[in-house]
């Protein structure tokens, strides 16, 4: 595979790889490093890349695994799971603060979710993958994905409701 073919094939979903890495790793630099490592691995295996049915799903799985390995490593002991890619420049300062507060609450709630629910919620609701693609990435059946997603959404909804009603329900 030539460099131009590789760029045309892989670069359209590079931002998705970055968002996934950013979701899993605390710093922008760590996420950028993760994406760069995955792209280098893809390029070094570019001759066998065409045998995969979905290169995007394969790259997302590589990114997820790389980030989880980084989180498990001893040198990454200070990393934690966060999600902070929400910005809206066209609103007032008050609305920005309120929106950031809501995002922070959702981040905290998502941090408390089991790892599988967290990943399914990220891939489906944030990255907008369909069930089959998520199934390929996480090696899950579509039914299991729907159940996991439902449980994750329910937990987030209940915790947000509890927060907004100040625990009075």
CATH of the domain at 131: 1.10.10.10
Same domain, 72 and 7: yes
Mean pLDDT taken over the chain? 81
Tens of pLDDT, residues 13-22: 899 999 888 8
Is 126 within 8 Å of 83 (Cβ atoms)? Answer: yes
Overall average pLDDT of the 65-90 stretch: 60
Counted domains in the chain: 2
Q: Do 24 and 59 share a domain, yes or no?
A: yes
Q: Where among 76, 101, 120 does a domain terminate?
A: 76
Q: What pLDDT, in 10s, does the model give residues 106-155? A: 888 888 899 999 989 888 888 888 899 999 989 999 999 999 999 999 99
Alpha helices in the chain (DSSP H): 3-10, 14-24, 28-44, 55-72, 93-112, 115-121, 131-138, 142-164
Range of the domain at 155: 93-164
pTM, whole model, 2 decimals? 0.50
Of residues 97 and 61, more confidence is placed in 61
In a domain, 169, yes or no: no
CATH at residue 68: 1.10.1740.10
On the question of pLDDT at 78 being above 80, the answer is: no
Same domain assignment for residues 68 and 7: yes
């Amino acid at each position: 595979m030539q460099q131009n073919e590789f760029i045309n094939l892989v670069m359209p979903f590079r931002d998705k790889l970055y968002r996934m890495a950013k979701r899993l790793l605390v710093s922008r630099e760590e996420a950028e490093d993760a994406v760069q490592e995955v792209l280098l691995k893809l390029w070094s295996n570019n001759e066998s890349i065409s045998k995969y049915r979905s290169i995007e799903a394969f790259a997302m799985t590589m990114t997820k695994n790389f980030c989880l390995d980084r989180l498990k490593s001893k040198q990454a002991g200070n990393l934690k799971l966060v999600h902070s890619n929400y910005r809206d420049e066209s609103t007032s300062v008050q609305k920005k603060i309120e929106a950031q507060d809501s995002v922070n609450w959702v981040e905290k709630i998502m941090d408390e979710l089991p790892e599988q629910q967290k990943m399914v919620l990220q891939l489906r609701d944030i990255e907008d993958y369909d069930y089959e693609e998520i199934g390929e990435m996480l090696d899950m059946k579509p039914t299991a994905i729907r159940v996991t997603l439902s449980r994750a959404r329910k937990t987030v909804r209940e915790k947000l409701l509890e927060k907004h009603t100040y625990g009075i329900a």
